[in-house]
Structure 1
Amino acid sequence: MNGQPLVRPAAVAGTFYPADATQLRRNVEQLLAQGEPHTLPSPQALIVPHAGYRYSGTTAATAYRQLEKCAGDINRVILLGPAHRVYVEGMAVPSSSRFATPLGEVPLDQAGIARALALSGTASNDEAHRQEHALEVQLPFLQCILGDFSLLPIVVGQCPVAGVAALIDTLWTGPGVLLVVSSDLSHFQPYDSATRHDRSSCQRILNGEHDLKGSDACGAGPINGLLASHRGSRLQRRLLAYCNSGDTGGDRQRVVGYGAFSLH
């Protein structure tokens, strides 16, 4: 590698979000301006959807607006999301040094990755990260809001809730750390049944229940782990915004649900 850091290039720029840096920054800033402000305590964790920005961007932006007043205090982000592209047994971290988007490169938290690899059920797996959109689509929002930060990206596959909770409790320590779980809600139901399903799932998250299934949320694994973790279980939870793809231009016979939550 000639001493150069190994960079994971953007995989979904131009599909899930704009590939041009100027257009992307403008898009994110416009979404943030549309997001609903809240007068809540600064979040310690967020649950954020990960569809294309035209579908879930405003909902995601409502979550990230909660960081505006505390952005200067955050220097490390732990980002967990589900595996969409490949089968993953356990949890996967990359061997990369940086993740790239059109807005630049984000350095990875190498010490955090080493701590994660010391845990049972966690392995280095670049293939799990190579095409995974769930983590990537969060990065431009974080880059625009936080500026400089280090990232600990984790793809959560098939593993027990207790294992995810143990990883979160091990890594989510110290000042200046934000934890983000990337997840959509129900998938491909008609509009009315999806809304009912999602309403129930949102209430279960607010109740702190940690037995969601994949049919409730594609990121059920990391959501359950967050809510079962020692720190996550003690936080207050607030639903910031909800919609589905039928509200934002998609087919109302096959919608995907999007919820944004703050834990503070």
Structure 2
Amino acid sequence: MPSTKSETVRPPAVAGRFYPADPGLLRRDVQRLIDAAGPVSEPLAAAYIVPHAGYRYSGHVAAQVYARLAAHRGRVKRVVLVGPSHHYPLRGTAAAPYTAWQTPLGEVRAAATNAVGSSRLPHEAEHSLEVQLPFLQVALGDDIEVTPVACGMSQTPDTARIIAALLEEAGEDAVLICSTDLSHYHDLATAQRIDAATAEAIKSLRPREIAPQHACGVFALRGTLAWADATGRRPRQLALATSADAAGSPDRVVGYPAFAIERPGL
């Protein structure tokens, strides 16, 4: 029997919590964040690292990436999204078996993949990839497709090979988005020290130095860095902040990164 719409379209799981559920308010908030970060005129990078907390906390950091993508609206047709599985214990990687993802701004088409198997379970309640979608809709418009992939416990070379396969399958007009936050729930000074060391490991392409407790998307992040190293690309830091820089207490903060991964000299 054919699937029903409810089975093939993934509904929002965190609208009204991580970002506004009202379409008008959501579009205004995202556009405001992108406008505050841009305009930015620079070559399109092959990949970016972005955070995935509630917009009030990490939206200004994520906007550093999406302001750069907005400058290439019409060029980017496919976005490969990789990030953690917070709620489901996952080994290896799992694509999402949906034809579209619903947000308050409408549906985002999902492109099927033959590079990795799919499972609904890691994606049903997951926010790390969902929160990227309204940013993508505002920055790039409605004419995009996404391939969301959850990355659980895995060996870095295996994840890097899967990322390479996903990007080859997606074609020349594709961009990789790696979704991760950094350290969690330290005081501000401790968080800044830990996150600075993680940022150096990212910039120096040293994925083994990033501990699981220092990046909640560590397996996707390590794989992204190994892929970057293998393809001659290097991360450039765009922003590094914590929840205390926005609306949070300095006693228990979460770190947020933004990086562009590009070829040297661009």
TMscore range, shorter length: over 0.9
- Which residue of the partner structure matches residue 256 of structure 1? 254
Q: Which residue of 2 is the match for residue 116 of structure 1?
A: 116
User: Deviation digits for residues 1-53 of structure 1, max 9, x if unmatched?
Assistant: 75655111000000000001111000100111112554532111010000000
Matches within 5 A, 1:1-264: 4-5=4-5, 6-35=8-37, 37-110=39-112, 113-117=113-117, 124-147=118-141, 148-173=143-168, 174-211=171-208, 212-229=210-227, 233-264=231-262
| 8 Å CA contact retained: 2:19, 2:26 | yes
> How many aligned residue pairs are there?
256
Work out whether residues 82 and 157 of structure 1, in 8 Å CA contact, stay in contact via their aligned partners in 2: yes
State the shift of 1:140 in Å.
0.3
Aligned residues of 1:208 and 1:233 also touching (Cα < 8 A): no
Which amino acid in 1 is paired with 2:125?
Answer: Q
**Aligned-partner Cα distance in 1 for 2:41–2:94:** 35
Moved more, 17-26 or 28-37: 28-37
**Matches of 1:260 and 1:171, distance apart in 2:** 22
Identity of aligned residues (%): 40
Report SS of the residue matched to 1:126.
Answer: coil
Paired letter, 2:114: A
> What TM-score do the two structures reach when normalised by structure 2?
0.92
In the superposition, the TM-score normalised over structure 1's length comes to: 0.92
Is the partner of 1:136 in helix, strand or coil? coil
Return 5+ residue gaps in structure 2 as ranges.
Answer: none
User: CA shift at 1:157, angstroms?
Assistant: 0.5
Q: Deviations over 1:215-256 (max 9, x none)?
A: 221111111101111676511321111110111111211100
Distance in 2 between residues matched to 1:37 and 1:183, nearest whole Å: 24
Q: What is the root-mean-square deviation in Å for CA atoms of aligned residues?
A: 1.5
Instruction: Give, as a single letter, the amino acid of the residue that structure 1 aligns with 2:26.
Output: L
Q: Cα distance, 1:71 vs. partner?
A: 2.1
Does the 8 Å CA contact 2:80/2:146 hold for their aligned counterparts?
Answer: yes
Q: Structure 1 residue runs of 4+, over 3 Å off?
A: 1-5, 36-40, 230-233
